[in-house]
Amino acid sequence: MNKTLNPPSYPIYLPPPRLSLSSLPSPPHPNPSSPALPAPCPRASDQPGCRNPTRCPVMPPRPSLHSLLLMAASAAAASGDSGPLLAARRRLAATAAAGGHRIRLLHSFSPGRVPRRPEVVCCVRSAPDSRRSAPAPPCSRNVLSAKNYSTASEERLGKIIQKLKNEGINPKQWRLGNFQRMLCPQCNGGSSEELSLSVYIRKDGINATWNCFRSKCGWRGFVQADGVTNISQGKSGIESETDQEVEAKKAANKVYRKISDEDLNLEPLCDELVEYFATRMISAETLRRNKVMQRNWNNKISIAFTYRRDGALVGCKYRAVDKTFSQEANTEKIFYGLDDIKRAHDVIIVEGEIDKLSMDEAGYRNCVSVPDGAPPKVSSKIPDQEQDKKYSYLWNCKDYLDSASRIILATDNDRPGQALAEELARRLGKERCWRVNWPKKNDTDTCKDANEVLMFLGPQALRKVIEDAELYPIRGLFSFEQFFPEIDNYFLGIHGDELGIHTGWKSMDDLYKVVPGELTVVTGVPNSGKSEWIDALLCNINKQSGWKFVLCSMENKVKEHARKLLEKHIQKPFFNARYGGSAQRMTPDEFEAGKQWLNKTFHLIRCEDDSLPSINWVLDLAKAAVLRHGVRGLVIDPYNELDHQRPSNQTETEYVSQILTKIKRFAQHHSCHVWFVAHPRQLQNWNGGPPNIYDISGSAHFINKCDNGIVIHRNRDPNAGPLDTVQVCVRKVRNKVVGQIGDAFLTYDRVTGEFKDAGKATTAPSAKAAKQSRKEAYKMPFQHAAEDGENSGL
């Protein structure tokens, strides 16, 4: 069904509609002596199923190719333009006589010669065998009628144009299928009010795009008609292309203009312009050598920077007195001063023609300038060479740049200039790029470009800028010089954390200290007090250094974890329960003050549903806690409470190595110490002594990748000493400056949950028992870490 629409209120141009041959008026037969076409079969009304015109006794045979062509030619002759169709008829006849293949003729008349004349489409298929009685099947291609095409296009165009108006884009006339330049509503073309906004609307009215080419604006966008999806675009019978495809085809088939000084009416610079360049420290000799000229256009004189290759004029860029720029259209984009870098090993690239002249004044002739200025920001990805229009001059001058071993990027000292340097380095190769650091022109301001250095500081300072150019940074590749400030602070101990934070227990000062950016793996048999010891350690660190922590402790309920931390902080029991004995319970005031301390010191990572947390989820939340709350420590307790789903082709050893690498990178990048609690696997022939770090369930990577490895072991043998003795076994210390391997003994206060240094009377028998336990453990067969999930307990 076709919907009747009112004529649009905006001027648009639509392509000529397509009409089938059946919609043409029946012309008179061109040959009066030939018999007229027979009338329709009289049996058609009685017998609608008559499908065999060749055998029908009443209906004549189907018109031949020759007759159809004559009909179409008669219609063309009536309008005075039958030549193209008759020529097509002769070509068809020759093709049919040669091979007898099926033929389709699509002929369109130029809308320029006959305005608003419909396109003539002739679809004819002739069977190779004339004796075949069945008619040829209909054409499978959809040919949209003119009314349907116009209706659909007008509907879409109305929606697109309304959306563009909502964005502030409202030109006097809308052009379809072409790039239209207009004033940008965001920047208004800057001080020169140039037409910097390019708008492109597809011919079918499905979508429209726009882009402002001013580097300080860069406004771009995309709108699409309602109800139109990418799938419908692909399935529609309307042939259309994206903006990138249109531009790529135009660039591939583009023919550049041949220009000369005489064609452009270029002439030598007048005295006023030479005087203007002198104020910018550019001499007349430099202007003559670089062939800087002028053009008088509409009684306005503009500076003409000529772009030449091998001395021949390729393009020209104009600069008016009011600092408006323009270029010759349909010319090839190349560097300004291209001939100066032929066979040069060092090349300097600047952002403007005057900067190129300034480098010439400083003695650097191996310098070129980009023709189009800088982009507003760095693009997300590099397009293909065919679609890289903005930087087409790089590809056009590739032969000149390939021989350069060092390219110095001296772009402007602003955000667009830095974006241009990054775009150039990405395309030229960062490994051979260098960058400059612009000096200060006074106590507060920094020089913006090469010409400012020349004007304020002189040619000597500009030469020093080039001589002091530094390597362009490559992500992930550093030199020690870049870390000298950090190394100096480490040597001088300025930050105070380089030598580690004391644990609060004198017996451990020589064995273990907490260093920001390290990973400590803590293990021990169940019910040995691993979590209790870590909580006590955090309380000690907060008391002496004020650190904040984020806790991912899945085994503890929040209220139980709060009780343990408050008891250690206030040093009083939470309840008047049996474990408290005769000790006095914390008062309500102490409890309220403890809650405030708890809230300021600790932050929690917990799942709000039944799902298990993954290591990526935990680290993302820990990163947020570091940035938002300034935490310095992370506790993951325990390993087996995390979600450990892994690909079927990944072993558990590989998986453990991967997550430990992620944790270490997090600790180093955020200067955060991480405590990771992991349980040992089921021990065989256990003698009651502390387990080894290699006994951790899952993989030997726990001991291989950690910075510090600690085993917490509680005495269970009354003959070996008091039952409240806790042995802290430091089994690995990567940094010898902050610790060493050894054992420390602490006593556990069951009432308050505190850990205190054990006395000599307790330490001696415990140390003797620990030594005997280690001897017996070394006699046992060494248990390697299980791989591929075997006996891992996961």
| Pair 647, 506: CB distance under 8 Å | no
pLDDT greater at residue 482 or residue 464: 464
**Residues in a beta bridge with 512:** none
State yes or no: pLDDT of 409 exceeds 80.
yes
Across 384-507, the runs of DSSP E, i.e. the strands, are 406-410, 433-435, 470-471
Residue 160: band (very low, low, confident or very high) from pLDDT cuts 50, 70, 90: confident
State yes or no: pLDDT of 407 exceeds 50.
yes
| Pair 673, 515: CB distance under 8 Å | yes
- CA 486 from chain centre, in angstroms, equals 31
The pairing of strands 519-523 and 673-677 is: parallel
Cis preceding linkage at 638, omega within 30: yes
State yes or no: pLDDT of 127 exceeds 60.
no
Average pLDDT over residues 482-493: 85
User: What's the confidence (pLDDT) of residue 145?
Assistant: 55
What DSSP line would sit under 644-658, residue for residue?
A: ----TTS-HHHHHHH
The whole-angstrom separation of Cα 285 and Cα 204 is 56
Tokens (6 digits) for 327: 């270029």
Average pLDDT over residues 571-580: 82
Q: 177-227, pLDDT tens digit by residue?
A: 788 888 888 888 877 777 888 888 887 778 888 888 776 787 888 888 776
Mean pLDDT (the chain) is 78
User: What's the confidence (pLDDT) of residue 786?
Assistant: 34
**Residues in a beta bridge with 199:** 180, 210
User: What's the confidence (pLDDT) of residue 411?
Assistant: 95
State yes or no: pLDDT of 569 exceeds 80.
yes
Taking the CA atoms of residue 679, residue 681, residue 686 and residue 692 in that order, the dihedral angle to the nearest 10 degrees is -60
Report the range out of 228-237, 653-662, 758-767, 776-785 with the highest average pLDDT.
Answer: 653-662
Q: 306-336, pLDDT tens digit by residue?
A: 999 999 999 999 998 777 888 898 899 999 9
**Least confidently predicted of 32-36, 296-300, 367-371, 621-625:** 32-36
State yes or no: pLDDT of 455 exceeds 90.
yes
User: What's the confidence (pLDDT) of residue 170?
Assistant: 83
The whole-angstrom separation of Cα 707 and Cα 345 is 47
Smallest Cα–Cα separation from 84: which of 114, 52, 47? 114
Q: 496-510, pLDDT tens digit by residue?
A: 677 889 999 999 989
- Would the CA dihedral through 733, 737, 741, 746 be positive or negative? negative
User: What's the confidence (pLDDT) of residue 164?
Assistant: 86
Q: 728-743, pLDDT tens digit by residue?
A: 999 999 999 999 999 9
Q: 8-56, pLDDT tens digit by residue?
A: 554 544 444 444 444 444 444 444 444 444 454 444 444 444 444 444 4
Tokens (6 digits) for 28: 């008179």
User: What's the confidence (pLDDT) of residue 763?
Assistant: 64
| Exposure string over 68-95, b if 16+ CB within 10 A, otherwise e | bbbbbbbbbeeeeebeebeebbeebeee
- Angle separating helix axes 615-629 and 652-669, nearest 10 degrees: 10
Q: 704-727, pLDDT tens digit by residue?
A: 889 999 999 988 877 777 888 899
Q: 425-435, pLDDT tens digit by residue?
A: 999 999 999 99
pTM here is 0.55
User: What's the confidence (pLDDT) of residue 71?
Assistant: 63
User: What's the confidence (pLDDT) of residue 765?
Assistant: 59
The whole-angstrom separation of Cα 240 and Cα 487 is 61
The percent of residues in the chain predicted with pLDDT above 70, rounded, is 72
The whole-angstrom separation of Cα 464 and Cα 453 is 10
State yes or no: pLDDT of 531 exceeds 50.
yes
Average pLDDT over residues 94-122: 44
State yes or no: pLDDT of 123 exceeds 80.
no
State yes or no: pLDDT of 246 exceeds 70.
no
Is 684 buried (19+), middle (13-18) or exposed (0-12) by CB count in 10 A? Answer: exposed
What are the strands of the beta sheet with 105-107, ordered from one edge? 18-19, 119-122, 105-107
Average pLDDT over residues 292-300: 88
State yes or no: pLDDT of 275 exceeds 60.
yes
Average pLDDT over residues 602-618: 87
User: What's the confidence (pLDDT) of residue 493?
Assistant: 77
